[in-house]
Amino acid sequence: MGLLAALPILLAAPAAALAHDHGHGGGGAMADLIDGQGQTKGKATIRQGKDGIEVDVKAVGLPAGVHAVHVHTTGTCTGPDFTSAGGHWNPGKKQHGHDNPAGAHMGDMPNMTVGADGTGELRTVIKGGMLTGGAAPLLDADGAAVVVHAAADDYKTDPTGNAGGRLACGVIKAE
- Predicted confidence (pLDDT) per residue in 3-35, tens digit: 444 434 433 433 333 333 333 445 799 999 999
What does pTM read for this prediction? Answer: 0.83
Share of the chain above pLDDT 90, in %: 63
CA angle 148–19–137, rounded 5-degree value: 45
- How many CB atoms neighbour CB 20 within 10 A? 10
Which residues carry out catalysis?
Answer: 70, 72, 88, 96, 105, 108, 149, 166
DSSP 13-62: HHHHHHHHHTTTTS-EEEEEEE-TTS-EEEEEEEEE-SSEEEEEEEE-SP
> For position 127, what pLDDT does the model report?
92
Q: State the average pLDDT for the chain.
A: 85
Backbone phi, psi, residue 4, to 5°: -65, -35
Q: What integer pLDDT is reported at residue 2 of this predicted model? A: 53
Question: Taking the domains of the chain in order of start, what are their residue ranges?
Answer: 24-174
Domain 24-174 is of which CATH architecture? Answer: Sandwich (2.60)
Tell me what the mean pLDDT of segment 105-130 comes to.
Answer: 94
